[in-house]
Chains A and B, each alone.
Chain A
Amino acid sequence: DTGVSQDPRHKITKRGQNVTFRCDPISEHNRLYWYRQTLGQGPEFLTYFQNEAQLEKSRLLSDRFSAERPKGSFSTLEIQRTEQGDSAMYLCASSLGVSEKLFFGSGTQLSVL
Protein backbone atom coordinates (compact mmCIF):
# COMPACT_ATOMS: atom_id res chain seq x y z
CA ASP A 1 0.00 0.00 0.00
CA THR A 2 1.60 3.27 -1.07
CA GLY A 3 -0.94 5.67 0.44
CA VAL A 4 -0.66 7.82 3.55
CA SER A 5 -0.50 5.67 6.65
CA GLN A 6 -1.21 6.68 10.21
CA ASP A 7 -0.50 4.88 13.43
CA PRO A 8 -2.23 4.06 15.68
CA ARG A 9 -5.74 3.92 14.23
CA HIS A 10 -7.28 4.31 17.67
CA LYS A 11 -5.93 5.67 20.93
CA ILE A 12 -7.72 5.77 24.26
CA THR A 13 -6.00 7.71 27.00
CA LYS A 14 -6.72 9.26 30.34
CA ARG A 15 -6.88 12.98 30.82
CA GLY A 16 -3.45 14.40 31.60
CA GLN A 17 -1.50 11.75 29.71
CA ASN A 18 0.73 12.47 26.72
CA VAL A 19 0.05 10.85 23.36
CA THR A 20 2.01 10.70 20.11
CA PHE A 21 0.74 9.88 16.65
CA ARG A 22 2.75 9.01 13.57
CA CYS A 23 2.12 9.74 9.92
CA ASP A 24 3.98 8.27 6.96
CA PRO A 25 3.18 10.25 3.81
CA ILE A 26 3.35 9.03 0.23
CA SER A 27 7.06 8.62 -0.32
CA GLU A 28 7.74 11.30 -2.91
CA HIS A 29 5.44 13.89 -1.31
CA ASN A 30 7.32 16.77 0.23
CA ARG A 31 4.34 18.49 1.85
CA LEU A 32 2.64 17.06 4.90
CA TYR A 33 -0.45 18.40 6.66
CA TRP A 34 -2.17 17.66 9.95
CA TYR A 35 -5.91 18.19 10.31
CA ARG A 36 -8.33 17.51 13.14
CA GLN A 37 -11.93 16.44 12.72
CA THR A 38 -14.51 16.43 15.50
CA LEU A 39 -17.93 14.85 15.33
CA GLY A 40 -20.25 16.59 12.91
CA GLN A 41 -17.56 18.91 11.60
CA GLY A 42 -15.27 18.94 8.62
CA PRO A 43 -11.50 18.58 8.97
CA GLU A 44 -9.77 21.65 10.44
CA PHE A 45 -6.24 22.63 9.45
CA LEU A 46 -3.64 22.35 12.23
CA THR A 47 -0.21 22.66 10.63
CA TYR A 48 1.84 21.82 7.57
CA PHE A 49 5.43 20.99 6.65
CA GLN A 50 7.44 21.40 3.53
CA ASN A 51 10.15 18.80 3.86
CA GLU A 52 11.34 19.16 7.46
CA ALA A 53 10.31 22.79 7.87
CA GLN A 54 7.08 23.55 9.71
CA LEU A 55 5.77 26.49 7.71
CA GLU A 56 2.47 27.27 9.35
CA LYS A 57 0.54 26.52 12.51
CA SER A 58 -3.12 27.16 13.14
CA ARG A 59 -4.35 29.00 16.21
CA LEU A 60 -6.05 25.69 17.05
CA LEU A 61 -2.63 24.27 17.83
CA SER A 62 -2.16 25.15 21.48
CA ASP A 63 1.13 24.99 23.36
CA ARG A 64 0.32 21.42 24.34
CA PHE A 65 0.58 20.33 20.72
CA SER A 66 3.84 19.83 18.89
CA ALA A 67 4.50 18.40 15.47
CA GLU A 68 7.78 17.37 13.94
CA ARG A 69 9.05 16.03 10.67
CA PRO A 70 12.70 15.52 11.47
CA LYS A 71 14.02 14.11 8.21
CA GLY A 72 11.35 15.36 5.89
CA SER A 73 9.73 11.95 5.70
CA PHE A 74 7.41 10.74 8.49
CA SER A 75 5.86 13.15 10.96
CA THR A 76 4.77 12.91 14.59
CA LEU A 77 2.09 14.87 16.40
CA GLU A 78 2.38 14.93 20.18
CA ILE A 79 -0.28 16.16 22.57
CA GLN A 80 0.85 16.78 26.12
CA ARG A 81 -1.45 16.77 29.15
CA THR A 82 -4.44 15.65 27.10
CA GLU A 83 -7.86 17.13 27.79
CA GLN A 84 -11.29 15.73 26.97
CA GLY A 85 -11.66 18.43 24.33
CA ASP A 86 -8.75 16.89 22.44
CA SER A 87 -10.92 13.89 21.57
CA ALA A 88 -11.12 13.90 17.78
CA MET A 89 -9.94 12.21 14.61
CA TYR A 90 -6.45 13.42 13.72
CA LEU A 91 -5.88 13.26 9.99
CA CYS A 92 -2.62 13.48 8.11
CA ALA A 93 -2.40 14.38 4.44
CA SER A 94 0.40 14.79 1.96
CA SER A 95 0.90 16.40 -1.41
CA LEU A 96 3.55 16.69 -4.05
CA GLY A 97 4.89 20.20 -4.28
CA VAL A 98 2.30 22.90 -4.63
CA SER A 99 -0.44 20.53 -5.60
CA GLU A 100 -4.04 21.25 -4.88
CA LYS A 101 -4.74 17.58 -4.28
CA LEU A 102 -4.19 16.36 -0.74
CA PHE A 103 -4.07 12.64 -0.08
CA PHE A 104 -5.40 11.77 3.35
CA GLY A 105 -4.62 8.88 5.64
CA SER A 106 -7.31 7.00 7.55
CA GLY A 107 -6.68 9.03 10.67
CA THR A 108 -6.04 8.36 14.35
CA GLN A 109 -9.16 8.42 16.51
CA LEU A 110 -8.26 9.82 19.93
CA SER A 111 -10.55 9.37 22.91
CA VAL A 112 -9.60 11.14 26.13
CA LEU A 113 -11.42 9.77 29.17
Chain B
Amino acid sequence: DQQVKQNSPSLSVQEGRISILNCDYTNSMFDYFLWYKKYPAEGPTFLISISSIKDKNEDGRFTVFLNKSAKHLSLHIVPSQPGDSAVYFCAASPVTSGTYKYIFGTGTRLKVLA
Protein backbone atom coordinates (compact mmCIF):
# COMPACT_ATOMS: atom_id res chain seq x y z
CA ASP B 1 0.00 0.00 0.00
CA GLN B 2 1.69 3.16 -1.21
CA GLN B 3 1.23 5.99 1.23
CA VAL B 4 2.85 8.56 -1.05
CA LYS B 5 1.93 8.52 -4.72
CA GLN B 6 3.28 10.35 -7.71
CA ASN B 7 0.94 9.29 -10.45
CA SER B 8 2.79 10.92 -13.33
CA PRO B 9 5.98 9.00 -14.08
CA SER B 10 7.13 11.64 -16.53
CA LEU B 11 6.51 15.22 -17.60
CA SER B 12 7.86 17.30 -20.47
CA VAL B 13 7.78 21.10 -20.41
CA GLN B 14 9.13 23.83 -22.66
CA GLU B 15 11.92 25.96 -21.27
CA GLY B 16 10.54 29.10 -19.63
CA ARG B 17 7.13 27.59 -18.93
CA ILE B 18 5.78 26.35 -15.61
CA SER B 19 6.39 22.78 -14.45
CA ILE B 20 3.83 21.35 -12.03
CA LEU B 21 4.62 18.11 -10.29
CA ASN B 22 1.96 16.46 -8.16
CA CYS B 23 1.98 14.19 -5.15
CA ASP B 24 -0.83 12.57 -3.16
CA TYR B 25 -0.63 10.94 0.24
CA THR B 26 -2.96 8.80 2.27
CA ASN B 27 -1.68 9.02 5.85
CA SER B 28 -3.24 11.89 7.78
CA MET B 29 -0.43 11.60 10.34
CA PHE B 30 2.08 13.02 7.88
CA ASP B 31 3.00 16.51 8.94
CA TYR B 32 6.19 17.27 7.09
CA PHE B 33 6.81 17.10 3.37
CA LEU B 34 9.86 17.45 1.19
CA TRP B 35 10.74 17.53 -2.46
CA TYR B 36 14.03 16.05 -3.60
CA LYS B 37 15.66 16.22 -7.01
CA LYS B 38 17.79 13.38 -8.31
CA TYR B 39 20.21 13.35 -11.22
CA PRO B 40 21.46 10.03 -12.64
CA ALA B 41 24.22 8.40 -10.59
CA GLU B 42 23.79 10.90 -7.76
CA GLY B 43 21.93 10.82 -4.48
CA PRO B 44 18.75 12.85 -4.00
CA THR B 45 19.29 16.55 -3.33
CA PHE B 46 16.98 18.48 -1.03
CA LEU B 47 14.91 21.05 -2.88
CA ILE B 48 12.18 22.49 -0.68
CA SER B 49 10.06 21.54 2.31
CA ILE B 50 6.73 22.40 3.88
CA SER B 51 5.19 21.64 7.22
CA SER B 52 1.52 20.90 7.69
CA ILE B 53 0.89 24.21 9.41
CA LYS B 54 1.52 26.01 6.12
CA ASP B 55 -0.13 25.80 2.74
CA LYS B 56 2.64 27.36 0.68
CA ASN B 57 6.40 27.72 0.76
CA GLU B 58 8.53 29.52 -1.80
CA ASP B 59 12.22 29.40 -2.55
CA GLY B 60 13.24 31.25 -5.67
CA ARG B 61 11.79 29.52 -8.72
CA PHE B 62 10.36 26.70 -6.59
CA THR B 63 7.04 26.81 -4.75
CA VAL B 64 5.39 23.96 -2.90
CA PHE B 65 1.66 24.01 -2.20
CA LEU B 66 -0.03 21.80 0.38
CA ASN B 67 -3.74 21.01 0.43
CA LYS B 68 -4.28 19.05 3.62
CA SER B 69 -7.96 18.40 3.09
CA ALA B 70 -7.21 16.81 -0.29
CA LYS B 71 -3.97 15.21 0.98
CA HIS B 72 -2.22 16.68 -2.02
CA LEU B 73 0.92 18.65 -2.59
CA SER B 74 2.42 20.10 -5.70
CA LEU B 75 5.74 21.57 -6.75
CA HIS B 76 5.75 24.49 -9.16
CA ILE B 77 8.91 25.46 -11.02
CA VAL B 78 8.75 28.82 -12.75
CA PRO B 79 10.39 29.42 -15.14
CA SER B 80 11.58 25.93 -15.99
CA GLN B 81 15.17 25.56 -17.16
CA PRO B 82 16.93 22.70 -18.96
CA GLY B 83 19.05 22.12 -15.82
CA ASP B 84 15.86 21.26 -13.96
CA SER B 85 15.62 18.04 -15.95
CA ALA B 86 15.83 15.33 -13.29
CA VAL B 87 13.69 12.91 -11.32
CA TYR B 88 11.69 14.60 -8.58
CA PHE B 89 10.60 12.73 -5.48
CA CYS B 90 8.13 13.91 -2.92
CA ALA B 91 8.51 12.54 0.59
CA ALA B 92 6.36 12.70 3.68
CA SER B 93 6.94 12.00 7.34
CA PRO B 94 5.15 12.09 10.63
CA VAL B 95 7.31 13.54 13.36
CA THR B 96 7.46 10.61 15.74
CA SER B 97 10.00 10.01 18.46
CA GLY B 98 11.64 13.25 17.46
CA THR B 99 12.80 12.12 14.07
CA TYR B 100 11.74 12.27 10.46
CA LYS B 101 11.26 8.91 8.78
CA TYR B 102 10.43 9.80 5.23
CA ILE B 103 8.28 7.78 2.89
CA PHE B 104 9.06 8.60 -0.71
CA GLY B 105 6.91 8.54 -3.80
CA THR B 106 8.06 6.74 -6.93
CA GLY B 107 9.27 9.90 -8.61
CA THR B 108 8.39 11.99 -11.66
CA ARG B 109 10.95 12.39 -14.41
CA LEU B 110 10.89 16.01 -15.60
CA LYS B 111 12.31 16.89 -18.97
CA VAL B 112 12.65 20.57 -19.79
CA LEU B 113 12.96 21.10 -23.52
CA ALA B 114 15.18 23.91 -24.81
The distance in angstroms between the C-alpha atoms of A98 and B99, with both chains bound, is: 6
The distance in angstroms between the C-alpha atoms of A31 and B100, with both chains bound, is: 10
Q: Knowing A100-B34, A101-B49 are in contact, say whether A107-B43 is a contact too (CB < 8 A).
A: yes
Binds B, one of A11-19, A40-48, A66-74, A77-85: A40-48
The distance in angstroms between the C-alpha atoms of A105 and B43, with both chains bound, is: 5
Q: Does A103 contact B (CB under 8 A)?
A: yes
Contact (Cβ within 8 A) B107 A42:
yes
Q: Knowing A42-B89, A43-B89, A100-B32 are in contact, say whether A106-B42 is a contact too (CB < 8 A).
A: yes
Chain A contact residue count (CB 8 A cutoff)? 26
CB contacts between A and B, total, < 8 Å: 61
The distance in angstroms between the C-alpha atoms of A37 and B91, with both chains bound, is: 13
The distance in angstroms between the C-alpha atoms of A105 and B34, with both chains bound, is: 17
Residue of B nearest to A4 (CB): B43
Interface residues on B, range: 20 to 34
Query: Which residues in window 61-113 of A have CB below 8 A to B?
Result: 91, 93, 95, 98-107
The distance in angstroms between the C-alpha atoms of A51 and B97, with both chains bound, is: 15
Contact (Cβ within 8 A) A104 B44:
yes
Contact (Cβ within 8 A) A102 B100:
yes
The distance in angstroms between the C-alpha atoms of A100 and B48, with both chains bound, is: 11
Q: Does B70 contact A (CB under 8 A)?
A: no
Contact (Cβ within 8 A) B101 A56:
yes
Q: Which residues of B line the A interface, CB within 8 A?
A: 4, 32, 34, 36, 41-46, 49, 51, 89, 91, 93, 97-107
Given contact pairs A45-B103, A55-B97, A104-B43, a sample of 20 additional A-B residue pairs in the complex whose CB atoms are under 8 Å apart: A4-B43, A42-B4, A42-B104, A42-B105, A42-B107, A43-B89, A43-B102, A43-B104, A44-B104, A56-B99, A91-B43, A91-B44, A98-B99, A98-B100, A99-B100, A100-B32, A100-B51, A102-B100, A104-B44, A104-B45
Q: Which residues of A line the B interface, CB within 8 A?
A: 4, 6, 31, 40-45, 48, 50, 55-56, 91, 93, 95, 98-107
